[in-house]
Amino acid sequence: MGADGGMRPSAFVRAGHGGLVMRDNSGAAPSSPTERAEGIDEALMRLVANGDRQAFRQLIQRHLDRIIILARRIVGPAESEDIAQEVFLKIWRQRQQHGTEVLHFKTWLYRVAVNQCLDWKRRALPGGTEEMPDIEDPGASPFVEVQNLERAELVKGAIAQLSQRQRIAITLYYQEDLQASEVAEIMQCELNAVESLLKRGRQKLRENLEKDAFL
Amino acid sequence: MDIREFSSLLAVYGGRLDKWPHTHRLPAMRLLERSADALVLLEQARALDADLRAQETATSPDRLRAMEDDILARLELEEEQAPRPELHEPVPPQPQARAKPAARRRGQAALWAGLRPGRAAPGPSGHSGARFVVGSMTGFGLSMVLLAGVGLWIGTHLGHISTYSQQQVLAYYSIDLWLR
């Protein structure tokens, strides 16, 4: 509602193909691609909160691949697609709650995704905790002969050897290109805790990769 | 900013200065302008950053589209299977049941039992001492109130009593005089 009580026009209009497109006269344009992307997500989420499935499909199209990659990094490739599906189902079920949250949609989405991954790991590993060491994937191990592996596979193997929380922090900060403060919001911990995870994660990765170089 | 602090910040935030805390960016840039060692450290950090940002294999577009359809199909299925609120005929309000007389008598008996000294029923744990004390004190208090009431009555009627006594004395004196 505007200040005069009238309805403000939506930033989006429905195009002939059924999808949503930005209105040309939607007011001040966001200055950066990130801000524009956030604006689109927030506008779509407002429609989703009213039960708009077409808007929800667009949100899925925008973020599904990133969530699959995030889940793959945290729990491995086998369960990543199932977890990504559960994440979006949860987003739909909790769509009314987003309006009461102060988080941006992307931060909220990642938080739901990280928590879903952690829940899956807790169920999959009886009596497991966050600090339980992960099972090393021998196919991506940095200890296999260096000549037979691509650099990316080495890095993947090195990341798999980090603790779960280090892996989540490193993935969110580098892969998803988030700020440290956003990572802290998603992981629901203090900023200095995230800084510690990033520092130790990088140090361990560097040690593992340097060890590789001598093999 | 010195080289040690610069190295510590690289260890946490990596080689992209735009991801550093705002207050450290400008001092870091000034250090880089004058320090070759700082430049070397920055390049090493950026090499590791590039490794960490190596893109994962993207999911094929067909697979993504299939997953989108699956998600929306599951939404519809969940909403169809969600229990609908059943409509009940309004139940007429029942009159509140009055306490049965026996129960009321028992309640009253229990109330007075606690007030009578020496006759308090033992509690569930068998301890009647506390109830006896409370009952005794209550009885004593009531007795004092009763005595005070009697005293008040005597005081208010003392005039009449004394007048009556004086009349009796006068009556006896009159009789005595008459007899004499």
Give the orientation angle of helix B3-13 with respect to helix B36-52, to 10 degrees: 10
First-last CA distance in chain A:
65
Of residues A61, A175, A179, nearest to B53 (C-beta): A175
Q: Note the pLDDT of residue B164.
A: 57
The residue extents of the domains of chain A are 33-128, 132-215
Confidence of residue A144 (pLDDT cuts 50, 70, 90): very low
Q: Note the pLDDT of residue B27.
A: 95
pLDDT digits (tens, 9 = 90+) for A172-194: 999 889 999 999 999 999 999 99
Confidence of residue B38 (pLDDT cuts 50, 70, 90): very high
pLDDT digits (tens, 9 = 90+) for A108-119: 999 999 999 999
Q: What percent of chain B has pLDDT over 70?
A: 58
B67 and A69 within 8 Å at the Cβ level: the answer is no
Q: Note the pLDDT of residue B135.
A: 72
Closest CA to B9 of B29, B36, B28: B28
Q: Which of A37-46, A145-154, B9-18 has the highest mean pLDDT?
A: B9-18
Confidence of residue B169 (pLDDT cuts 50, 70, 90): low
Q: Which two tokens stand for residue A188?
A: 């629901």
CATH number of A132-215: 1.10.10.10
Q: What is the mean pLDDT of chain A?
A: 79
Helix (H, G, I), strand (E, B) or coil at B64: helix
pLDDT digits (tens, 9 = 90+) for B76-98: 898 888 777 666 555 655 555 55
Q: Note the pLDDT of residue A208.
A: 84
Establish if A179 touches chain B: CB-CB under 8 angstroms: yes
Q: Measured between alpha carbons, how far is A104 from A164 in angstroms, rounded to an integer?
A: 24
Tell me which of A27-31, A159-163, B144-148 is least confident: A27-31
pLDDT digits (tens, 9 = 90+) for B41-60: 999 999 999 888 876 677 88
Tell me which of A25-34, A195-204, B102-111 is least confident: B102-111
**pLDDT exceeds cutoff 60 at A16:** no
Establish if A199 touches chain B: CB-CB under 8 angstroms: yes
The residue extents of the domains of chain B are 3-51, 109-179
pLDDT digits (tens, 9 = 90+) for A80-89: 999 999 999 9
State which residue of chain B sits closest to A68, comparing Cα positions: B59
Predicted ipTM > 0.90? no
Chain A positions in Cβ-Cβ contact with residue B75 (cut-off 8 Å): 53, 56, 89, 92
- Which class for A42: exposed (0-12), middle (13-18), buried (19 or more C-beta within 10 A)? middle
Q: What is the mean pLDDT of chain B?
A: 76
Interface of B with A (CB under 8 A): 11-14, 19, 48-49, 51-54, 56, 58-59, 63-64, 67-68, 70-72, 74-75, 78
A180 and B13 within 8 Å at the Cβ level: the answer is yes
CATH architecture, domain A33-128? Orthogonal Bundle (1.10)
- Chain A, window 128-167: residues with a beta carbon less than 8 angstroms from a chain B beta carbon: 151-152, 155, 159
A205 and B52 within 8 Å at the Cβ level: the answer is yes
